Structure 1
Amino acid sequence: MTATGSTVDGRAAVQRRTIVVLSIAQVLGGLGVAIGVAVGGLIAADVAGTEAVAGLAQTCGVLGAALAAVPLAWLTRRHGRRAGLVSGLLTGALGAALVVLASTARWLPLLLAGLVLFGAATAAGLQARYGATDLAVPERTARALSVVVWATTVGSVLGPNLTDPAGRLGVALGLPALTGPFLVTVVAFTAAAGVLFVLLRPDPLRLSAAGPAGGTRPGPDGGGVVASLRDIVVRPRALVGLCAIASSHVAMVSVMVMTPVHMHHDVSLSLIGFVISVHILGMYGFSPLTGYLADRAGRLPVIVAGTLITAAAGVVSATAPGHDAVRLGIGLFLLGLGWSCGLVAGSALLSESVPERTRTAAQGVSDLVMNGSAAIGGSLAGLVVALWSYGWLATGAAVLMLAVGVFSVLHTRRRTAVAP
């Protein structure tokens, strides 16, 4: 075997190991995020003494993910993929610890600050999907990315089911019951960071700076937020990828957070939990299939299919009364599946459409736009429901996604002077 062939085989072996390590970390990180999100609103309402601030907990977490996206991308660009992911998870663990402290002291500002830091772990989980692409061959990029996204399913489904045992743990330690899940979150995030710190070697992003024959290429010099955003905007395919990621997330978060509110006067909490579980299955369970189709059929067809699926989800949900858990379950499943199409295919399209020197920075900016848009959308969703109805909110999400689908088809036909 030639030296070049040996090097290629070695990189393939590292890629397989990278996928396994990232997937293990995603299981742990997804568990921590899910169990924290499950009680975040409840703990905020308990500390504040009013349910009016419950939605603020979700907003703080999404805002934290947006604020952390660019700094974590900077760390990744300067020190490697491992440094960025570990830093995000440990920041999230610190945030969860502050939530426990704030709940015990019944201090709302500290609680909200903790939830913002908690969001950094969500940002790390999202950026882990890009770690799967650092060494992936072009024809398997989306599939590699989708496997890491899929791994989140295990933790996301397991997390909420640990809420009661974790609550009993909190009580046994002399703490408020609702702090128990956040104690589990601290452990889960720290364990995920430990897995990455010890096992994610060699660093996939640093190894990707070496050519196929082992020669070293100059490392990425990146750029600021404005420069990275400009790199995306001037490239039609990259812009379509960003729009797919952001719009899918806005539609998903906006409709998902208001569905329990739409249902809670008509059905039991167990039925609401079932609907949300079906939604999570749609988000993550079929991501490997989404990645396979994005590699085989192309990024754009999967993005457009995702916009149509999400639009259908909006129509189904908009016409479902609060007591119709079956129809809402179908709507939320489709909402999650459409999100998966937009995230997986959009992320792959964006990554391959920007120059390597600014790729990591562009990935961070995409997550900033994604989570920042969702934070705004989630905040406005409550206002829309209060002024009009849940049906109008879901209809608006459907219209948004149809518009993004049309834009995606038309915009990719534009010719640009800047080569992708």
Structure 2
Amino acid sequence: MKKYKRRIILFVLLCASLALPPRISMSFPTSISTQSAISFSLFDFFNHENQQPIQSDLRVIPGGQSIGISLRTNGVLIVGYAPIIDSSGKEKFPAKNAGIKIGDMILSINEVKAQNDLQVSEEIDQQCQKNKTINFTIKRGNQILKKQISPVFCSETNRNRIGLFIRDEAAGVGTLTFIEPKQQIFGALGHVITDMDTNEKIELKDGKVIESSISSIEKGKNGDPGEKIGTFMINSNFSGKINKNTESGIYGTLEGKFTNKFYKDGILLGLKSEIIPGPAKIYTVLKNNTIEEFDIEIEKIMLNRNDNKNLIIKITDPKLLDQSGGIVQGMSGSPIVQNQKLIGAVTHVFVNDSTRGYGIFIENMIKDSGLNSSAAAQTGSSFYYLLSYCSKKLSSKNLKYDKFFASYMINFC
């Protein structure tokens, strides 16, 4: 038995010397619990996936600006079924019965490429009035499928229809996390933008960001997270193009006047191994377009999670608590700074405690942004921190995405 223990110790020390921190699989129950299961897998030590280092000397300008975001989907999204009342008064759903599902993306109709929701709606209507079977090419996940739908006469609208709600745009307000001034690459939100009806990731065709002005805040309370109410600024100081919509946020290029009065010369990035439980700062807008600094506490650090829930944070700033109640929708992407380094961004709020939520490691955002990440990171210390950290019991709360507050124009056909 001693021989096996010695082998395990030697193996662990070897991994530490190679700066390969062990990975943890954690189970976070959806209901409130005082502890959660922790399990280790020794064979995961040599899995390098999602452990790319970032440049230790990379400087970025922290964000905090409120931004207006508009997206167009790569195709036309099916967001619901529209009931058709036939001549006998019964509800019919021809598209649903033909195998069309909510969340499917329309790529073409009768071999005509889907350009936007208005064009698709008009094409469907033309075919419906001819009472012809319509051939759809749709994308479902990674599958490309062919479907045929036969129109049904609707007694309410007095025309043939197939019974779908569709759209191709989304718009809302979020927070900018950083910009790398040399390449003018930005990152924002810290989480993916999903469709509010289908809850599916929006497949991006193109998108834009401009500066937003916050007019008011609906204060959050337990069980009901609040939100920022904002408008797009006509005379925006900056504008940008969105190139990516990923699980860790949105990314693209920005041009114009971009400043943060707290860090005019930029800031270094903080590796996850450098983050410690304790005080930190977040930067966000509560009124108009003025960035403010607020105190938070980093309560827990999940070193080996590769999603956007890496930090548990708590709002401690009296002003922010008074004005917003804690974390609110529209605050996602607000940069987190500790020891004068950018370490992450706010991503979630706990439904039952709006003063607490999740944050993402800045490493995850930098990796997905496309910025150079070839330099070796100093990860050795994370191994020793992990051993002490994993001996603690973890707690969890019901959580909710700091949802991308969006408004849409929906066409039905």
TM-score (norm 1): 0.22
Q: Which has the larger radius of gyration?
A: 2
Bigger fraction of residues in helix: 1
Bigger fraction of residues in strand: 2
TM-score (norm 2): 0.23
